[in-house]
Structure 1
Amino acid sequence: MVDYAKLFSLRRTPQSESIPGTVPNTAGGHAFPVDDWTQLDRFLVLGSEGGSYYAGERALTRENAGAVLRCLAADGVRAVEAIVAVSEGGRAPKQDPAIFALALAAGAADLAVRRAALAALPRVCRTGTHLFRFAGAVDATRGWGRGLRRAVGRWYGERSVEALAYQAVKYRARYGWTHRDLLRLAHPETGEAERAALFDWICRGTLGEALPPLVHAFAAVQREGVNGATAAALVRSHGLPWEALPTELLASRAVNEALLDGMPVGAMVRQLGRLTAAGVLAPFSAGTARVVAALSDRERLLKARLHPMALLVALKTYASGRGERGRLAWEPVGAIVEALNAAFYTAFRAVEPTGRRLVLALDVSGSMGSGSVAGSSLTPREAAAAMALVTAATEESWQVVGFTAGARGRGTALTPLPFGPSMRLDAAVAATEGLPFGGTDCALPMLWALERGIPADAFVVYTDSETWAGEVHPVQALRTYRERTGIAAKLVVVGLVSNGFSIADPNDAGMLDVVGFDTAAPALIADFLR
């Protein structure tokens, strides 16, 4: 006789087989599909640049674009509000996904949605480079109608002349677009002499007397034969950004010292290697003290919308002593490395500890070592390590474990990881690289805790949800843990790839899916655990 209960179970099903509510994922396993609004949030924060281990960049982008379009069709105004919220809140490492989504909204069939998108243009596209990226996305998704031309014209007409001049000298050309191209498309009208002179200079190169002083300073520094001392004086007197200077002047120590004096904190973080190579940043130097002070200023970091990932990438690159491209090399200054490490935590929203007992489980499998998070140099595996440290630095009771291969490289297992708040970020990231990788079984944290009699209030799993290994689905393992321990344990899934899957059951109120590297994620997790 056949024992049908051994062939089909709702309590213990291999992850290679489906359970109610799941769909096949791209790894050969089964997971819960996320709704379009969740995928919209994932895309806005993580993007699809670089793709993932199982999905190429093009396929992942098309999948996410489909979700954006469905959200726009279902409630376009809500979708635009979500785009603005992520962008203005500094929640994403890059603006590109929000700009692309806004371009899709600007071409929506619903007039109210198009108007909302165009009204949001200056809020999402805050710099010239953002506007150029938007123009490229518009070319790929819709034509240049009158409403769109007027919206671009307002971008040039409503900000102050001084702010617009700064954009004109800092972001002169990007992605095949220039300010001249956009002004000729938009034809903005103005009755202000200074603004008209600025438009004339952008389009024709005319250096009129009515131009803002910054433009005259830019023209002066571009002249042949200008030396470092003269350029440094122009930088200090007019606030010229480094992008406005000829390449040959960027090797001058005097110029770099002048640039550092007024450099925005975001640009400072990106230029640490060059400033060190130029001798401006050295042990005990005034420049180093200025950088450390800036990185220690919470208000300044938050005001600059400096994303934690930008700080983590800067830490990884700066501590290596070499740029990712080119031949630039430097000797890292220890005080700056430590300041970057501390600033990473500062850039997240303040989180109150929950007092809960947490098992933090990192997916450090082979799939997590491929692709990138938000188009950065970080792999999902490195991002998982960094995100876990944020929670470990806040909470008092936690254990960090990693999904690894079992004995002799076979099967799956959990390996306790020596993570802690005293561990530097780059060291924690490096610690995940030498582990024996195997298939990912996201049910293991619950099974591991149950086998050892560990009383956990919540399991936080950092993963791409592309899982297939294991004899039981994670949600089934959690329910068994709850039944046998009497603890109403929760599951938080921190998604690190903008795909359409999650191991969290959307119909279980004790499970939550959040977007990794959303600056709001640690606080959201803490609120949910409470």
Structure 2
Amino acid sequence: MSYLTRINLRRTSQSEPMPGTDQVPNSAGGFAWAVDDWTRLRRFLILGSAGGSYYAGEHELTLENAQVAAKAIAADGPRAVREIVAISRDGRAASNDAAIFALAMAASAEDEATRALALDALPQVCRTGTHLFTFARHVEQFRGWGRALRRGVGRWYVEQPVDRVAYQAVKYRRRDGMSHRDLLRLAHPGAKTRAGNPRLPVSDEHARLFEWIVRGGGETAARAGGIAAGGGETAARAGGTVAGSEDAARGLPAVIGAFEAAQAATTAAETARLVREHGLPREAVKAEHLDDAEVWAALLERMPMTALLRNLATLTRVGVIAPGSFGADYAAEQLGDTDRLRKARVHPIAVLSALRTYASGHGVRSTRTWDPVAQVVDALDGAFYAAFGNVEPANTRVMLALDVSGSMTYGQLAGVPGLTPRDASAALALVTAATEPRHEIVGFFAGKGGWKSGTRDWMGHTGLTPLAISPRQRLTDAVKAVSDLPFGGTDCSLPMRYALERGREIDTFVIYTDSETWAGEIHPVQALREYRERTGIAARLVVVGMIANGFTIADPEDPGMLDIVGFDTATPDVVSGFARGVV
């Protein structure tokens, strides 16, 4: 009768589907549930697919997600566009690239209403010149430049204040072989229809700026050291520049003349003055003046938050940020401004990336080094938690379980070099740990002082080990502690089994994983139900997906289980709400 014992509704090996369920094979050889297309789309928009995963390469994972996005758009285009806009507009994703890609797909949909909605949403998703260039490159993968697309791109330029368009023109001159000059020639706002009416009305101020751009003003000034192609005037005069009154005479925004003058400036001091007077961005400064402390001090005064995060290392290397300096005080003050962080849509991943790089004292792709200033490191640490906003504590007993298996060390979260899903999950778990006073953090490996499950896989005993990491530590130290752990098998039933054997009373289990579970003798949902039965606690399970794949270990039919996307800025709040029973 031994063959009859293999059918067990209460304990099923993860290498087999649970009887009576619609589980599917995952990429690791185990069985889990397939997430629906909308969940998969949300994962893709928030996590992206850069670097792929252990089980699927970048191209394969991207293709899978693109196919799912296409299905969602075909099924309900307006809903898909709303989802794209909400995630992009609210800054819920670390990178805007996936949202731009999906919007380009929607702008190329068969349904005319979907195409129109996507093009109407262009300014909300493509907020900078770089975003617009990326959209243009992607949309060319799916369609040609018809009248609606020309009008949609033209509106991006026409409906913004002329000063903002001018700033975009000098800051984002060219990316990936695309420029404002190219797009304006394609969109041609202000051109007449056959009936002689303007295709898209353009103000005189916009028209003059567009002429300057189309004649190569931005690119020519940068290449030729200050010859303004928009009117034949030189950008530098004896004893002065075209910035200011002469710009007004040309009918161009002042930032255009300041940019031309900066490209013609012969001294760093002159460049610093132009930066201070006109708020020029770093991209408007000549390369030879970008190693000067005075120029960087001027840039720091009005530097946008995202630019500040990217340039902390340079500011330190040139001496603007130093221990006890005004630059260090100012940078720390800006990083501590929660309202400014939110208004700038600064994502926690951007802060974590900046923190990891800055605290290391050396570049990821360069050989340049600097001495990190402790005040700035501490400010970045605080900014990481602040970027998630205020999270109301659930005040329940929470176990935070980190999947530190080998598969979680592959890929790049949001395309950040060196930031693996495993490292990111540790940082994300600390946000909930900082909120919930009664928590325990464990890792999927049978380490010293840990708990062994009694089963073995090809790596040895499976089990869990309490992790000595805390929000009171610097974030980089806590993440490094997890990075140094030995690999364990992916058995997501372990938290519930560990809690049961160790007598832990847990209200909410939160598992950070890629859901590529395969190693256990019992499925996670079966382990949770057994824990509920034996303890009498109506325990809940939150599965935080750290890879944009199509699987989840949470039973979609169980209201006490929830699958959410890792590193959505809303994740800690959703975890807390679910633990309180309000989600």
Q: Give the alignment's TM-score, normalised by structure 2.
A: 0.89
1:21 deviates by: 2.1
Paired residues for 1:267-346 under 5 Å: 267-346=307-386
Kept after mapping to 1: 8 A contact 2:213/2:230: no
Distance in 2 (alpha carbons) for counterparts of 1:306 and 1:176: 27
CA pair 25-191 structure 1, distance change in 2 beyond 3 A: closer
Separation (CA, whole Å) in 1 of partners of 2:357 and 2:177: 28
Q: Which residue of 2 aligns with 1:481?
A: 531
Aligned to 2:11: 12
CA distance in 1 between counterparts of 2:100 and 2:187 reads 19
Per-residue deviation, 1:194: 2.4
* Runs of 4+, deviation exceeding 6 Å: none
Map of 1:434 onto structure 2: 484
The equivalent residue for 1:95 is: 96
How far the C-alpha of 1:247 sits from its partner, in A, is 1.3
Contact 1:274 1:328 in 2 (8 A): no
- Separation in 1 of the partners of 2:561 and 2:230? 62
Q: What are the superposed Cα offsets for residues 379-403 of structure 1, whole Å, 9 maximum, x if unpaired?
A: 0011110011000000010100000
> In structure 2, which of residues 503, 511, 515 is the aligned counterpart of residue 453 of structure 1?
503
Alignment-mate amino acid for residue 331 of structure 1? D
Kindly indicate whether residue 161 of structure 2 is the aligned counterpart of residue 160 of structure 1.
Answer: yes
Query: Is residue 2:547 matched to residue 1:497?
Result: yes
One-letter code aligned to 1:123: Q
Structure 2 counterparts to residues 102-113 of structure 1, below 5 A: 102-113=103-114
Say if 2:15 and 2:29, in contact at 8 Å, map to a contact too. yes
Shift of 1:32: 0.8
Q: Which amino acid aligns with 2:442?
A: V
Residue 22 of structure 1 corresponds to which residue in structure 2? 23
Q: Compared with structure 1, are the counterparts of its residues 26 and 254 closer, same or farther at alpha carbon in structure 2 (3 Å cutoff)?
A: same
Higher relative contact order (CA 8 A, sep 6+): 1
Give 1:210 deviation, angstroms: 1.4
Larger Rg: 2
- Provide the secondary structure at the position in 2 that maps to 1:108: coil
1:257 maps to which of 297, 303, 327: 297
The offset of 1:99, in angstroms, is 0.3
Output the CA distance in 2 between the equivalents of 1:417 and 1:460. 15
- Render the CA deviation track for 1:71-107: whole Å, top value 9, x for unaligned: 1111110110000000110100010000000000001
Q: Which amino acid aligns with 1:381?
A: R
**Rounded Cα–Cα distance in structure 1 between residues aligned with 2:288 and 2:363:** 18
Letter in 2 for 1:256: W
Unaligned runs of 5+ in 1: none
Greater shift after overlay, 206-215 or 303-312? 206-215
Partner of 1:418: 468
1:144-223 → structure 2 map (5 Å cutoff): 144-189=145-190, 190-204=201-215, 205=217, 206-208=229-231, 209-223=250-264
Matched residue type, 1:195? H
The answer to whether the Cα contact below 8 Å between 1:207 and 1:216 also exists between their aligned partners in 2 is: no
| Aligned AA (2:87) | V
Contact 1:26 1:54 in 2 (8 A): yes
Aligned partners of 1:433, 1:87: CA distance in 2, in Å? 30
Q: Which amino acid aligns with 1:522?
A: P
1:123-182: CA deviation from partner (whole Å, max 9, x where unpaired): 100100000000010011221111011000000101011000000000000111000110
Question: Residue 392 of structure 1 corresponds to which residue in structure 2?
Answer: 433
How big is the shift at 1:2?
4.1
TM-score by length of 1: 0.98
- What residue is the counterpart of 1:136 in the other structure? 137
| Structure 1 position 3, deviation (Å) | 5.2
Contact between 1:349 and 1:522, CA under 8 Å: does it hold in 2? no
Task: Decide whether the 8 Å contact of 2:105 with 2:139 is kept in 1.
Answer: yes
> 1:141 corresponds to which letter in structure 2?
F
Q: CA–CA distance in 2 between the matches of 1:3 and 1:168?
A: 72
Q: Offset at 1:453?
A: 1.3
Alpha-carbon distance in 1 for matches of 2:413, 2:156? 31
* Partner amino acid, structure 1, of 2:497: L
C-alpha distance in structure 1 between counterparts of 2:556 and 2:67, whole Å: 21
* Residue identity matched to 2:290: L
Take 1:411 and 1:26, find their aligned partners in 2: how far apart are those partners?
Answer: 22
Q: 1:447 to 1:495 in 2, by over 3 A?
A: same
**Structure 2 residues without counterparts, runs of 5 or longer:** 191-200, 218-228, 232-249
Contact preservation (8 Å) 1:405, 1:439:
no
Structure 2: distance between partners of 1:26 and 1:3: 28
1:404 and 1:440 in contact (8 A); partners too: no
The answer to whether the Cα contact below 8 Å between 1:489 and 1:510 also exists between their aligned partners in 2 is yes
Q: Output the CA distance in 2 between the equivalents of 1:2 and 1:503.
A: 29
Q: What SS does the aligned partner of 2:445 have? A: strand
In the alignment, the residues of structure 1 paired with residue 395 and residue 488 of structure 2 have an alpha-carbon distance, to the nearest angstrom, of 33
- Given that 1:358 and 1:459 are in contact with CA atoms closer than 8 Å, whether structure 2 keeps it comes out as yes
Q: In the alignment, residue 7 of structure 1 is paired with which amino acid?
A: R
Aligned match of 1:34: 35
Percent identity between matched residues is 59
CA pair 437-2 structure 1, distance change in 2 beyond 3 A: closer
**Contact residue 158 and residue 202 of structure 2 kept, 8 A:** no
Distance 1:162 1:526 in 2: 43
SS in 2 for 1:459: strand
